Structure 1
Amino acid sequence: MSKNLLIVESPAKAKTIEKYLGNDFKVLASVGHIRKDTKVDVHDNFAVTYEIDPDHKKVIAELKKASKDADTIWLATDEDREGESISWHLLEVLKLPKTTHRITFHEITKPALQEAIKNPRTVDMNMVSSQQARQTLDMLVGYDLSGVVRTKVPGAKSAGRVQSPALRLIVEREQEIERFNAKSSFKVTGKFSDQAANISDLDSSEIFEANLDKTTFATEEEAKFFLEQFKNANFKVQNLEKTEAKKANPVPLTTAALQIEANSRLGFSSKTTMSAAQGLYQSGHITYHRTDSLNLSNQALAEIANLIKTEFGENYLEVRRFHTKNASAQEAHESIRPTHIDVAVAGKNEYEKKLYQLIRSRTLATQMKNAVVAKTSLYLEADTVPNELFKATGEMVIFDGFLKVYGKSKDTTLPNLQIGDNVKRHILLAKQTFSKPPARYTEGSLVKKLEELGIGRPSTYASIINAIQVRNYVVKGESEGEPRDVLQLTLDESNQLSEQTISEKTGSTKGKLMPTPVGELVSNFLCENFKDIVDYDFTAGIEEKLDLIAEKKLTRLKMLRDFYGPFSDAIGASAMANRYNSATELGTDPKTGKKIYAKIGKNGGFLQLGENEKESGEKPIFIPLPKGKTVKTVTLEQALKQLELPVLPRSLGHAKDGTELIAANGPFGPFIKAGTHNIALSKINEAENPYHITLETAEALYQKKIDSILADWGDIKIINGPFGPYIKGPAIKPASGKGRARPNNAKIPKDRDPKSITREEAEEILLNSKAPAAKKASAKKTAAKKTPAKKSTTKKTAAKTKAKTTAKKS
Structure 2
Amino acid sequence: MSKPLVIVESPAKAKTLARFLGNQFRVEASVGHVRDLPENASEVPESIKKETWGRIGVDVDNGFKPYYVVSSDRKSRIRELKAAVKDASEVLLATDPDREGESISWHLREVLKPKGSVKRIVFHEITEEAVREAIEQARDIDLKLVDAQESRRILDRLYGYMLSPVLWKKVQTGLSAGRVQSVAVRLIVEREEERRAFRRSTCWDLDAKIRAGETQFVATLVRVGEERVATGKDFDPTTGALVGRNVRLLDEASAKTMREVLAGRLPWTVTGVEEKPTSQRPSAPFTTSTLQQEANRKLGFSADRTMSAAQRLFQDGVISYHRTDSTTLSDKALRESARAIKDMYGEAFYGGARQYQTKVKNAQEAHEAIRPTDFGQRPQSLSLPPDEARLYELIWKRTVASQMADARLLRTTLEITATGADRRPHVFTASGKAIQFAGFLRAYVEGSDDPAGELGDQEILLPKLSVGDHVTAPGQGPLTLAGLDPKAHETLPPPRYTDASLVKTLEEDGIGRPSTYASIIQTIERRGYVWRQGKALVPSYTAFAVTSLLKDHFGQLVELGFTGRIEEDLDQVSNGDLDRTQFLEQFYNGLDDWPGLRHLVTNEDRIEYPVIELGVDPATGQKIVVRIGRYGAYAQMGDANASIPEDIAPADFTIEQALKLLKDRTDGPQSLGADPKTGLPVYVLTGRFGPYVQLGEAPEKGSKEKPRRASLTKNDQPDSITLDRALELLSLPRLVGHDAETGQDIIANFGRFGPYVKRGDEFRSLGTDADVFGVTLDQAIELFKQEKKGRRRTASRTVLREVGLHPESQAKIEILEGRYGPYVTDGTTNASVPKDVLVDALTLEESVGLLKAREGAPAKKGRGRAPARGAGRTMGTATARKRPTKRSA
- Give the secondary structure class of the aligned counterpart of 1:339: coil
Question: Hey, what does 1:404 align to over in structure 2?
Answer: 442
In structure 2, relative to structure 1, the CA distance for the partners of 1:686 and 1:621 (3 Å cut) is farther
Question: Hey, what does 1:105 align to over in structure 2?
Answer: 123
Describe how 1:351-750 pairs up with structure 2 within 5 A.
351-384=387-420, 387-407=425-445, 410-423=458-471, 424-477=480-533, 510-565=534-589, 566-575=596-605, 576-578=607-609, 582-584=633-635, 586=660, 589=663
Asked whether the equivalents of residues 177 and 875 of structure 2 are also in contact (C-alpha less than 8 Å), the reply is: no
Asked whether the equivalents of residues 170 and 440 of structure 1 are also in contact (C-alpha less than 8 Å), the reply is: yes
Amino acid at match of 1:254: T
In structure 1, which of residues 87, 109, 122 is the aligned counterpart of residue 105 of structure 2? Answer: 87
Deviations 1:252-296 (Å, cap 9, x if unpaired)?
211101111111111111111111111111111111110011111
Q: Which moved more, 1:37-46 or 1:114-123?
A: 37-46
Unpaired runs of 5+ residues, structure 1, are 198-204, 478-509, 630-634, 654-668, 670-678, 698-722, 724-745, 749-770, 798-810
Deviations 1:134-187 (Å, cap 9, x if unpaired)?
222222332333322233224763232211111111111111011111110101
CA distance in 1, matches of 2:347, 2:411: 26
In structure 2, which of residues 242, 254, 275 is the aligned counterpart of residue 242 of structure 1? Answer: 275
Question: Hey, what does 2:188 align to over in structure 1?
Answer: 170
Question: Hey, what does 1:36 align to over in structure 2?
Answer: 36
CA distance in 2, matches of 1:591, 1:476: 28
- Give the secondary structure class of the aligned counterpart of 2:114: coil
Following superposition, the deviation at residue 58 of structure 1 comes to 3.0
Following superposition, the deviation at residue 113 of structure 1 comes to 1.4
Following superposition, the deviation at residue 334 of structure 1 comes to 0.8
In structure 2, relative to structure 1, the CA distance for the partners of 1:5 and 1:21 (3 Å cut) is same
Amino acid at match of 1:212: L
The two structures, once aligned, show a CA RMSD in angstroms of 5.0
CA distance in 2, matches of 1:132, 1:641: 63
Following superposition, the deviation at residue 213 of structure 1 comes to 2.2
Amino acid at match of 1:178: R
Describe how 1:231-380 pairs up with structure 2 within 5 A.
231-310=264-343, 311-314=345-348, 316-326=350-360, 328-330=362-364, 332-345=366-379, 346=382, 348-380=384-416
Asked whether the equivalents of residues 72 and 858 of structure 2 are also in contact (C-alpha less than 8 Å), the reply is: no
Following superposition, the deviation at residue 343 of structure 1 comes to 1.3
TM-score by length of 2: 0.65
In structure 2, relative to structure 1, the CA distance for the partners of 1:123 and 1:599 (3 Å cut) is farther
Asked whether the equivalents of residues 518 and 600 of structure 1 are also in contact (C-alpha less than 8 Å), the reply is: no
Amino acid at match of 1:28: E
Question: Hey, what does 2:254 align to over in structure 1?
Answer: 222
CA distance in 2, matches of 1:513, 1:190: 38
Asked whether the equivalents of residues 273 and 466 of structure 2 are also in contact (C-alpha less than 8 Å), the reply is: yes
In structure 2, relative to structure 1, the CA distance for the partners of 1:15 and 1:747 (3 Å cut) is closer
Asked whether the equivalents of residues 286 and 339 of structure 1 are also in contact (C-alpha less than 8 Å), the reply is: yes
Asked whether the equivalents of residues 530 and 538 of structure 2 are also in contact (C-alpha less than 8 Å), the reply is: yes
CA distance in 1, matches of 2:100, 2:365: 19
Asked whether the equivalents of residues 361 and 509 of structure 2 are also in contact (C-alpha less than 8 Å), the reply is: no
Following superposition, the deviation at residue 326 of structure 1 comes to 4.3
- Give the secondary structure class of the aligned counterpart of 2:354: coil
Unpaired runs of 5+ residues, structure 2, are 39-43, 45-56, 224-228, 231-248, 447-456, 472-479, 590-595, 610-626, 636-641, 643-659, 671-684, 735-751, 753-759, 778-804, 806-826, 830-854, 879-889
Asked whether the equivalents of residues 309 and 317 of structure 1 are also in contact (C-alpha less than 8 Å), the reply is: no
CA distance in 2, matches of 1:686, 1:568: 57
Following superposition, the deviation at residue 777 of structure 1 comes to 2.9
Deviations 1:301-341 (Å, cap 9, x if unpaired)?
12222322334214532221223344743574211111111
Asked whether the equivalents of residues 588 and 595 of structure 1 are also in contact (C-alpha less than 8 Å), the reply is: no
Deviations 1:419-444 (Å, cap 9, x if unpaired)?
22222112111111111111111111
Asked whether the equivalents of residues 168 and 174 of structure 2 are also in contact (C-alpha less than 8 Å), the reply is: yes
Asked whether the equivalents of residues 295 and 331 of structure 1 are also in contact (C-alpha less than 8 Å), the reply is: no
Asked whether the equivalents of residues 352 and 403 of structure 2 are also in contact (C-alpha less than 8 Å), the reply is: yes
Asked whether the equivalents of residues 174 and 876 of structure 2 are also in contact (C-alpha less than 8 Å), the reply is: no
When the two structures are aligned, how many residues end up with a matched partner? 665
1:55 counterpart = 2:73:
yes
Amino acid at match of 2:467: I
Following superposition, the deviation at residue 57 of structure 1 comes to 2.7
CA distance in 2, matches of 1:25, 1:88: 21
CA distance in 1, matches of 2:419, 2:355: 55
Identity %: 39
Following superposition, the deviation at residue 404 of structure 1 comes to 1.2
In structure 2, relative to structure 1, the CA distance for the partners of 1:427 and 1:155 (3 Å cut) is farther
In structure 2, relative to structure 1, the CA distance for the partners of 1:583 and 1:448 (3 Å cut) is same
Amino acid at match of 1:397: I
Asked whether the equivalents of residues 292 and 329 of structure 1 are also in contact (C-alpha less than 8 Å), the reply is: yes
Deviations 1:562-591 (Å, cap 9, x if unpaired)?
223332333333345339675416566589
Asked whether the equivalents of residues 91 and 97 of structure 1 are also in contact (C-alpha less than 8 Å), the reply is: no
Following superposition, the deviation at residue 472 of structure 1 comes to 1.9
Following superposition, the deviation at residue 235 of structure 1 comes to 2.0
CA distance in 1, matches of 2:856, 2:600: 39
CA distance in 2, matches of 1:394, 1:270: 35
CA distance in 2, matches of 1:173, 1:232: 47
Amino acid at match of 1:777: K
- Give the secondary structure class of the aligned counterpart of 1:469: helix
CA distance in 1, matches of 2:146, 2:687: 42
Following superposition, the deviation at residue 30 of structure 1 comes to 0.7
Question: Hey, what does 1:481 align to over in structure 2?
Answer: none
CA distance in 1, matches of 2:299, 2:323: 20
CA distance in 2, matches of 1:779, 1:88: 32
- Give the secondary structure class of the aligned counterpart of 1:392: strand
Asked whether the equivalents of residues 338 and 350 of structure 2 are also in contact (C-alpha less than 8 Å), the reply is: no
- Give the secondary structure class of the aligned counterpart of 1:292: coil
Amino acid at match of 1:49: Y
Following superposition, the deviation at residue 359 of structure 1 comes to 0.9
Amino acid at match of 2:217: F
Deviations 1:477-526 (Å, cap 9, x if unpaired)?
1xxxxxxxxxxxxxxxxxxxxxxxxxxxxxxxx32111122222222232
1:16 counterpart = 2:16:
yes
Deviations 1:631-669 (Å, cap 9, x if unpaired)?
xxxx9979x999x989xx99999xxxxxxxxxxxxxxx9
Asked whether the equivalents of residues 589 and 595 of structure 1 are also in contact (C-alpha less than 8 Å), the reply is: no
Greater gyration radius: 1
Amino acid at match of 1:563: F
Asked whether the equivalents of residues 4 and 72 of structure 1 are also in contact (C-alpha less than 8 Å), the reply is: yes
CA distance in 2, matches of 1:113, 1:450: 33
CA distance in 2, matches of 1:796, 1:330: 31
Asked whether the equivalents of residues 97 and 123 of structure 2 are also in contact (C-alpha less than 8 Å), the reply is: yes
Asked whether the equivalents of residues 583 and 600 of structure 1 are also in contact (C-alpha less than 8 Å), the reply is: no
